[in-house]
Amino acid sequence: MTDQAYHAALRWLALTAWLTYAALSAGSLSIDPETRFRVAESIARNGTVALAEPNLHTVEHDGKHYSLFFPGQTLVLLPVAAAEVLAADGFGIDANLAATGARFATAVFVMPAFALLYLLGHVALLRALEVGRRLALFSGGLLLIGTHALIWGTNGSEETILGAISAWAFWALVSADRIARDDPDASAATVRAYVRHLGLAGVLLAIGMIHRSTFIAVAGGAAVLAIPSMLGHRRLLIRGWGRFAVWVAAGVVVVATVPLYNWIRFGNALDTGYGRYYEAFGGVFSTDLLTGLRGHLLSPGKSVFLYVPWLVLLPPALLMPGVRRRLGRLGVALLVMIALHLLIYSKFIFWAGAFGWSVRFHVSIMPLLFVPIAVWLDRATLKRGVRVALVLLATASVLIQLAGRALNDGLEHRQHPEYYTGPDNLIPDEAAWTWHGSQLTLRLVNIGRKLSGRRLLDLEEGDPQRIVTVWSIFPCRAAVVMKSRVIVIALWALWILLVAAALGAGGRTVSLAWPRAP
């Protein structure tokens, strides 16, 4: 495959990613990004981070309501919120229409753009490791539609933002080390390139930290790559200390937004609000470690291997001597990251990420988890039976995500709140530990019931809560809550256009990457 064909295929694949996530978008924001968006609105309209009304993810301080979350995604969404306020206050557009339009634009156009970056970061990292072009494209495509990024990347969640940051940060570190090794004489151009890549990685990791404190797991893995490289190539840093200092300063400024945000909300730079919020649940990290580990890896309701079957290849890939040699320090870095990630989220009170499809937290590291598998397959000699098994694993991974995206991810929670425990029934009980309570099992049943025309919840025809029971694409959801048939028809037209464009772009990708023999 030529460079020209590869880059053309990659561009078409990136376009396919954006169009696919746009077409499969719910058209609205789930409660976490909705809370962050409300903060952005409050900043744009009132110049304050306080919210007018409390919700499930707010904490009260001095009679005001504040978002529980870190400021990262709020800052990402601030331009959209500012455009909404300008449209309503500056141009006289109805405030409710402007607010709905802003959320729709965020869900359908803005957040799917991060799926594009999510894909490109993974492919770039594979190419930096000299994985074959076609395999890199295949792995990127499977990452998009064969993992639960397809669910969490289409409801406004920040998971794909964090996944993109993780992939590009590791790419920058791998590239920096390669740049230094390829020029032992350390020319001025090499010094600049090394410092630039190292600094970029640091700033990206800083951006990840202002989204979520638990991103420390990714940062910890990255440190395993960065520190030995910095020590081994310290003369490059000494020669480029001025540029490096600028990057360090930029990273410090980014991270400083978190204590500043804390001080603005609570008058204390170290008070994130998490302690007071999770006190009612028994504390932030109050889950038994083995319970959390078993839930993440082995439970019938939440196991990452069950929801992304392709990942069963990860443990054997990491054990392969050839893979370990080829990954080098990156392999150690990935193991450290995985260990920290599992430790943190296994102890977290909401170890399962509440009631959504699988465990959403894993989406943020999925571009890195796919790397050892691709490195293994890149030079493996596969017998026909193994190739068939790989096709089955990839197909199962895709079909499972399509099942997850077909209906609202909270449907089974609404049907069976008794399968959950804790305040607001947010901690899975039977939903995690039994097959009859597993969301995957219930989802297959619900799809069958939906296709046969049976009701999924006992709701009246005009009840807006029926939005939970319809096919989870934005025109279907809009038809439940919007009175204007013209708008609904326009949304269907947009959806059909997006689907047709996604299929066309995907077809073009395949024809470029795997052309038919003449």
Q: What is the DSSP string of 307-368?
A: H-GGGGGHHHHHH-HHHHHHHTHHHHHHHHHHHHHHHHHHHSTTTT-TTSSS-GGGGGGHHH
Buried residues in 283-318 as b, exposed as e (16+ CB within 10 A): ebbebeeeebbbbbeebbbbbbbbbbbbbbbbeebb
Helix (H, G, I), strand (E, B) or coil at 434: coil
Q: Quick check: pTM over 0.85?
A: yes
Angle, vertex CA 407, rays to CA 401 and CA 412, nearest 5: 100
Model pLDDT, residue 69: 94
Rounded percentage of the chain residues whose pLDDT exceeds 90: 84
Beta carbons of 247 and 32 less than 8 angstroms apart: no
Q: State both tokens at 518.
A: 């003449």
Please report, as a single letter, which amino acid is at residue 142.
Answer: L
Per the prediction, the chain carries an average pLDDT of 93
**C-alpha neighbours within 13 Å on the C-beta side of residue 226:** 21
Q: What is the mean pLDDT of residues 75-104?
A: 95
Model pLDDT, residue 324: 94
Model pLDDT, residue 337: 97
Number of helices (H), then strands (E), belonging to the chain: the values are 26, 5
Helix (H, G, I), strand (E, B) or coil at 384: helix
Model pLDDT, residue 487: 92
Beta carbons of 168 and 124 less than 8 angstroms apart: yes
Residue pointed to by tokens 């049943």:
445
Give the pLDDT confidence of 405-450 residue by residue, as tens digits: 999 988 999 999 999 987 777 789 999 999 999 999 999 999 999 9
Residue 129 CB contacts under 8 Å (≥ 6 apart), including other chains: 174, 326, 327, 330, 371, 375
Model pLDDT, residue 186: 84
Model pLDDT, residue 245: 96
Please report, as a single letter, which amino acid is at residue 176.
Answer: A
Beta carbons within 10 angstroms of residue 239's beta carbon: 17
Helix/strand/coil percentages in the chain, nearest 5 = 75, 5, 25
Model pLDDT, residue 259: 96
Rg over alpha carbons for the chain, rounded to the nearest Å, is 23
